[in-house]
Amino acid sequence: MSRISEKIRYVGVNDLSKVIFEGMWPLPFGVSYNSYLVVDEKVALIDTAEAGFAPEYLDNIRRELCGRKIDYLVINHMEPDHSSLISMIREEYPQVRIVGNAKTVPMIKGYHGIADNIHVVKDGDSISLGESTLTFYMTPMVHWPETMMTYFNEEKTLFSGDAFGTFGAVEGTVLDSGAVLAGRTDSRTDTFEAFRDEMRRYYSNIVGKFGQTVQAALKKLSGLEISRICSTHGPVWEKFIPQVVSCYDRLSRYEAEKGVCIVYGSMYGNTAGAAKALAAELAKRGVPHVLHNLCTENVSYAYRDVFLYDTLAVGSPTYNNDIFPPVGNFMRGVCARLVKNRKFVAFGSYTWAGASVKLLNEMAAGLGFSLISEGLSFPQAFSSEKCDMEALADRICSEVSPC
């Protein structure tokens, strides 16, 4: 499990007890906090792990080092899922020199009160560990201001921080060729498919707003030969690098597949009836689609599929002359993620004065989405006479694919 190469050792941990990541995102398959040692004449530790894993994490390090000391602790990212154990590493290895950039420094001070023995690096700077060289590339806002990546020149290995990471604790080997997401024995396959959904959910939930800076990072890294990507979550990528990089490239360009992501909330089933009718009509026509009920399901799955399909259909009843709160929250999240290049339609029930469809359309227009129709706002109960989902499905179908 732990030896990735002669010089690179995996010392990360699996978190199978956390139910909700960042207080918002469910973890049906857990999550891993990956950390790595580069062992040469000098030893570098790349990132740490989440609080609560101190004993297991320290054991992993001790087992690999057999009494040797750590010379450098490279901090690619200060989000506490990776930086929580910095103080503990300093206590255990007091001589360790922390490597970070100018934006890391105040964060280390603020989280840990540490201000000394920090080696500040700039874009393109290197440190030598003996035969091994680590070069640092600044990749700000992927997805925090201090994020940087560390490239191990001689092994063409990129320690990428959260970039290219996925939800899911990794069992068996950490290498992508044999890795399995915890609790998903069916995922032991030779394809990237087993990881794609959770990678998309991780990206869309956490990094989704930063398409432009992810693109800048990909451009910066495009000159590097990369034969291994060691991210901070999920498998170490060797076999699936083309798929992983292409997945990130498409997500950060907001490129989508043809299909419809239907997202709705409903109190009494009327807007739900319309959503299900639309799904049924799309199914009849063979149009790829997914249906997400925000009243019963975490919003992270809806965000995932907003990034998957090129058409977004959103249903909301009118609620206090506004959008129904779970749907409003979802749409604010779509706006915050600066989603682009989508076709859009809104629908929803009201009783005395409809407002939700108009307000949803305004939000979609603010993102530059093209409206498929003016939307379907209908009074009280859903019926096909009041809300013609057949006609809407025909319209979507003619744009999405030949039916």
Ligand X SMILES: Cc1cc2nc3c(=O)[nH]c(=O)nc-3n(C[C@H](O)[C@H](O)[C@H](O)COP(=O)(O)O)c2cc1C
Using CB under 6 A, pick the residue from 185, 320, 385, 402 that binds ligand X.
320
The residues of the shown chain that bind Fe ion, judged by CB under 5 A, are: 79, 81, 162, 232
> Whole-number minimum distance, CB 42 to Fe ion, in Å?
26
Residue 270 binds to ligand X (criterion: CB under 6 A) = yes
- Is 317 near ligand X (CB under 6 A)? yes
Shortest distance in whole angstroms from residue 294 CB to ligand X: 12
Residue number with CB closer to ligand X (20 or 267): 267
The only residue of 231, 266, 293, 361 in contact with ligand X, by rule CB under 6 A:
266
Residue closer to ligand X (CB basis): 55 or 268: 268
Does residue number 350 form part of the binding site for ligand X (CB under 6 A)?
A: yes
Q: Which of 95, 219, 352, 402 binds ligand X (CB under 6 A)?
A: 352
HEC-encoded secondary structure of the chain? CCECCCCEEECCEEECCCCEECCCEECCCCEEECCEEEECCCEEEECCCCCCCHHHHHHHHHHHHCCCCCCEEECCCCCHHHHCCHHHHHHHCCCCEEEECCCHHHHHHHHHCCCCCEEECCCCCEEECCCCEEEEEECCCCCCCCCEEEEEHHHCEEEEECCCCCCCCEECCCECCCCEECCCHHHCCCCCHHHHHHHHHHHHHHHHHHHHHHHHHHHHHCCCCCCEEEECCCCEECCCHHHHHHHHHHHHCCCCEEEEEEEECCCCCHHHHHHHHHHHHHHHCCCCEEEEECCCCCHHHHHHHHCCEEEEEEECCEECCEECHHHHHHHHHHHHCCCCCCEEEEEEEECCCCCHHHHHHHHHHHCCCEECCCCEEEECCCCCCCCCHHHHHHHHHHHHCCC
Binding at 162: pick from ligand X, Fe ion, none (beta carbon under 5-8 Å per type): Fe ion
In angstroms, give the least distance from the CB of 313 to ligand X. 15
* Residue 266 binds which entry of ligand X, Fe ion, none, CB below 5-8 Å type-dependent: ligand X
Q: Does residue 14 bind ligand X (CB under 6 A)?
A: no
Q: Report if residue 293 touches ligand X, rule: CB under 6 A.
A: no
353 binds, among Fe ion, ligand X, none (CB under 5 to 8 A by kind): ligand X
Residue nearest to Fe ion (CB): 79
Q: Which is nearer to Fe ion, 64 or 79 (CB)?
A: 79
Residues that bind ligand X (CB under 6 A): 266-272, 317-321, 349-354, 380
